[in-house]
Structure 1
Amino acid sequence: MELLSRKTEPVGDGSFEKLKLVGSGGFGRVYKARHKDWCFDVAIKILHDGVNMSLCDEAYHMDKGSCNFVVVLHGTYQGCPPGVTSPQQGLVMEFMARGSVQSLLEHLSGPPQWPLVCRLAHQVALGMNFLHSQTIMHQDLKPSNVLLNDDLNARLADFGLSRVSTSALNSNREKSVMIGGSYKYMPPEAFEVSYKPVRAFDIYSYGILLWSIITGKEPYPSADYDLVNLKIPQGDRPCCKGIDLMREREGLKELVDLMERCWDGSPSKRPPFKGCLEVTENVFSKHENGIHDAVGQVLTRLNSPTSNQSNTSVASSVLLQTPEQSKPNDTVDNGPLTQTERSSTQDCVRISTRTMSNTDKAKFVDKNRAKLIKDATMVMAMIEELGDMVHPETYSLIDAKPTSHEQMRALYQTALRSGGEAVKAAFYDALKNHQRDLVLRLGD
């Protein structure tokens, strides 16, 4: 492949130091490492067994789609990361220090400052427009695949599904990947067995992504694949309650109109990304002077050890809703906390300085089962830290679940049930590493 002749030979373990697992998903694991000669951090993406054939495809699409709004591909990897005994192949990419749009919204418990919302909407549209100009369809556009650098600029990532851009999703493995990764961002026509992806697929996903950025919420948080498969083709879309209460924000009306045109049930009525850019560029231009302060405020909150203490949202209740159900006078279904709620939340979020025993940790995991199933994220990354405590068959069973909620439920039903106190204590430690704010909120 042309990429391999343009990039360096595969980089081995000897070139890296400080390898650390930082994430896990449907396609594989992501490690952070420092390249000894380059002297900067990189991300190494390792695909799960059985999907290695997509590695070159993803690298090719990343290289072909290279621009200011796509994560930079530095080369390929071949080696054995920590905890792995057999040689692995992967991609060496730009390390995005601020995670993803999804993690940003989770940390803030809502949308960021309005100028940053406008910039994110514009930068994603710029990146997608460039990909489409290069005849590349992403097909997995969602908040977790929009990564952020130190200044919270957006870069598109995870081109694992681009390899099926010209064929129907007709193999069992391709269907399971799509369902597991992005069914909430799939257009209604994509639920048809004979569907062949076209550019309108990405445009629909962009509409749902806009909703998430504007509201700071996850679409259909309690809906499984079967419910989404049933309701989306009938015209249901994410709930728009509360958006009308933000009308004083200049440009919101234009973005909401664009969002609704992008998720139109008819693919032919969705605007191309070049048309989207006409809207996003105009809206962002009105707030560009405020972006420096907005980014500074968000970074201050992200860097604060108590960033979520006074802004922890109540349980989300966003439901599937038809466009006709959204009314101008609807109230916010998950709005700001009242003073009473805020005080109560703060009372529950006090940093503990005591040393917990394994028994205490196990009790915490048992006591908070329902809340952890609902709110825990990056489940596979935490399971990775359990190592041999989770049998490979159990790992595969959990990894196959389409949502973090179902992964957590399966973890409770398997390893946490049979492993006893030791496994629960180890999981508590992993949870504290990945979601300290959640542990604090639940009352460590």
Structure 2
Amino acid sequence: MALTSNKTELSADDFLEKWDLLGSGGFGCVYKARHKLWSFDVAIKRLHDGVGTEKALYEEASHMDEASSEFVVRVYGFFKEGNAMRKGIVMEFMRGGSIQSLQKDLSGPPPSALAFRLAHQVALAINFLHLKGLMHQDLKPSNVLLNDDLNAKLADFGLSRVSTSTFNNKDKMTGEIGGSYKYMPPEAFEVSYKPVRAFDIYSYGILLWSIVTGEEPYPGKDYSLVELKIPKGDRPQDICQKEVEGLKELVGLMKSCWVNEPSERPAAKECCKVTESLFSRHETGISDAVHYVKKRLDSQTNNQHSNTPVAFSCPFQPPESKLHDEADHAGFENPLRSFQQLQLKTDVVSTDPVTVSLEKMNDTDKAKFVDTKRAALIQSVSEVLAIAEELGSMVHGETYSLIEVKQTSQERMRVLYQRTFRSGGVIVKAAFYDALKKHHPNLVEDLGR
């Protein structure tokens, strides 16, 4: 497909202004700019001087255009800078950053509902790409961008190419094997390897691990060490499976994607079936999860100006890092270790929420407090309507109306537990705890002793 036949070539001098550098790499730089005529912001990928060719740039844009869908960043056209022939790709600007930047801003993983949606949307993007006869070949958190509502779209198709199945890998394919080495499958470290769709599936498995844990795989390990350990079956550390519905199945999908044998990895369509089923169980909580994240990010931005540190905690937490002998383990997870051997990393180490210092409680501790003190809270909380109003969109309108018609505070609290806390999970319970501490500080203190 020749993208130049239906895409506009723009002059940077005439149409683009207010350039801001978003990031740079070996390929070049990505900028945000304002399009004067369109009156909205766009992203621009521009190669460094002497890096790559104009043909490579057009090929990348053509792949993105061919894979154009709800889950791939949109291409608007090209630009040339002044009288020079330097060109770039003009693309949709994703205001939500990337999964990588989200992990950094949250200091960990996103809420479970959002994590399941991200997993599903990336699977949909990969499946659509593969059905178009393409593969991405560089799946990683920084290449999954987010819009205002934190919906995911794939970007950076610089390594994308025409794909083949794992059973037909003798086709001629040009170019070097790309991709970030921590997300590359074991077979990709072989000199004679020719990329196939199973490459993306393996990378997707590692990406799932990163989404759930909020961490980078094999931290501090260089290329040579990863190249040595991955073909031997070493993978990122096991995930401690907390009481999050569907997490066990998602971990199972993750592990099936990163098996050593390419032919044993599931097709993208199979991944979609699993992720769709899992996300459907959490879909009702997605608006609350997005609201929660945005509120946290806004709070962090505001506190950056006041130099006040902000602590974050989420339903998913990665296992505590273990210290291993470099020669024997190299910081990789031994596949034989059980989940019971892993320790859960939290902001406050405690198994008894009653004895936790109320000044240091994270969201998980707050949720445990709300769960374990259920009977006492139902009997003692009187400002139910005020608290429900403070929770805002976390309490659905129908639920709020039902609370209003109840005659006693005990009945109102039972409605909150049955209709809001049960489906809302950690996020809503933590918000309830904060509101409870505001309206009933003495009660919280008494119950926390």
TM-score, normalising length: structure 1: 0.69
Aligned position for 1:327: 339
CA deviation string 1:378-405 (max 9, x = no partner): xxxxxxxxxxxxxxxxxxxxxxxxxxxx
**Alignment check: 8 A CA contact 2:320 2:343 kept:** no
The answer to whether the aligner puts 1:266 opposite 2:247 as a matched pair is no
User: Which AA in structure 2 matches 1:162?
Assistant: S
Counterparts of 1:237-386 in structure 2, within 5 Å, are 237-241=235-239, 243-244=240-241, 246=242, 248-304=243-299, 305=301, 306=303, 309-311=310-312, 317=321, 319-332=331-344, 334-337=345-348
Q: For 1:7 and 1:234, how far apart are their aligned partners in 2?
A: 46
Which of 117, 120, 139 is equivalent to 2:118? 120
Which of 69, 72, 80 is equivalent to 1:70? 72
User: Which AA in structure 2 matches 1:258?
Assistant: L
1:3 Cα offset (Å): 0.7
Q: For 1:136 and 1:170, how far apart are their aligned partners in 2?
A: 14
User: Which AA in structure 2 matches 1:16?
Assistant: L
1:17 Cα offset (Å): 1.2
The answer to whether the aligner puts 1:4 opposite 2:16 as a matched pair is no
1:326 Cα offset (Å): 4.1
Q: For 2:85 and 2:101, how far apart are their aligned partners in 1?
A: 30
Aligned position for 1:184: 182
1:11 Cα offset (Å): 3.5
Q: For 1:315 and 1:31, how far apart are their aligned partners in 2?
A: 36
Q: For 1:63 and 1:321, how far apart are their aligned partners in 2?
A: 39
CA deviation string 1:33-64 (max 9, x = no partner): 01000010000001223212310110110000
User: Would the alpha carbon gap of residues 120 and 314 (structure 1) be closer, same or farther in structure 2, given more than 3 Å must change?
Assistant: closer
The answer to whether the aligner puts 1:105 opposite 2:103 as a matched pair is yes
Aligned position for 2:211: 213
User: Which AA in structure 1 matches 2:195?
Assistant: P
User: Would the alpha carbon gap of residues 13 and 325 (structure 1) be closer, same or farther in structure 2, given more than 3 Å must change?
Assistant: farther
Computing the radius of gyration from Cα coordinates, the structure with the larger value is 2
User: Would the alpha carbon gap of residues 164 and 224 (structure 1) be closer, same or farther in structure 2, given more than 3 Å must change?
Assistant: farther
TM-score, normalising length: structure 2: 0.69
Counterparts of 1:87-236 in structure 2, within 5 Å, are 87-163=85-161, 174=176, 178=178, 181-236=179-234
**Alignment check: 8 A CA contact 1:262 1:271 kept:** yes
1:77 Cα offset (Å): 1.4
CA deviation string 1:70-98 (max 9, x = no partner): 00000011116xxxx96521100000001
Q: For 1:279 and 1:163, how far apart are their aligned partners in 2?
A: 26
Q: For 2:71 and 2:319, how far apart are their aligned partners in 1?
A: 33
SS for the counterpart of 2:79 is strand
User: Would the alpha carbon gap of residues 268 and 314 (structure 1) be closer, same or farther in structure 2, given more than 3 Å must change?
Assistant: closer
**Alignment check: 8 A CA contact 2:32 2:44 kept:** yes
Percent of pairs with identical residues: 58
SS for the counterpart of 2:340 is coil
Q: What runs of 5+ residues in structure 1 fail to find an aligned partner?
A: 344-444
SS for the counterpart of 1:57 is helix
Q: For 1:337 and 1:54, how far apart are their aligned partners in 2?
A: 50
Q: For 2:332 and 2:348, how far apart are their aligned partners in 1?
A: 23
1:168 Cα offset (Å): 7.7
Q: For 2:8 and 2:262, how far apart are their aligned partners in 1?
A: 41
Aligned position for 2:407: none
Q: For 1:328 and 1:317, how far apart are their aligned partners in 2?
A: 14
**Alignment check: 8 A CA contact 1:15 1:35 kept:** yes
User: Would the alpha carbon gap of residues 29 and 142 (structure 1) be closer, same or farther in structure 2, given more than 3 Å must change?
Assistant: same
User: Which AA in structure 2 matches 1:108?
Assistant: L
Aligned position for 2:33: 33
Which structure's relative contact order is higher, taking Cα pairs within 8 Å and 6+ residues apart? 1
User: Which AA in structure 2 matches 1:327?
Assistant: F
**Alignment check: 8 A CA contact 1:168 1:194 kept:** no
Q: For 1:13 and 1:266, how far apart are their aligned partners in 2?
A: 51
Q: For 2:5 and 2:64, how far apart are their aligned partners in 1?
A: 15
1:2 Cα offset (Å): 1.7
CA deviation string 1:91-114 (max 9, x = no partner): 000000011000000110111110
User: Would the alpha carbon gap of residues 126 and 314 (structure 1) be closer, same or farther in structure 2, given more than 3 Å must change?
Assistant: closer
**Alignment check: 8 A CA contact 2:138 2:159 kept:** yes
Aligned residues: 328
User: Would the alpha carbon gap of residues 315 and 288 (structure 1) be closer, same or farther in structure 2, given more than 3 Å must change?
Assistant: closer
Q: For 2:318 and 2:215, how far apart are their aligned partners in 1?
A: 12
Q: For 1:126 and 1:136, how far apart are their aligned partners in 2?
A: 14
1:322 Cα offset (Å): 3.1
User: Which AA in structure 2 matches 1:132?
Assistant: H
**Alignment check: 8 A CA contact 1:54 1:163 kept:** no
Q: For 2:341 and 2:318, how far apart are their aligned partners in 1?
A: 21
**Alignment check: 8 A CA contact 1:168 1:195 kept:** no
Aligned position for 2:45: 45
User: Would the alpha carbon gap of residues 26 and 317 (structure 1) be closer, same or farther in structure 2, given more than 3 Å must change?
Assistant: farther
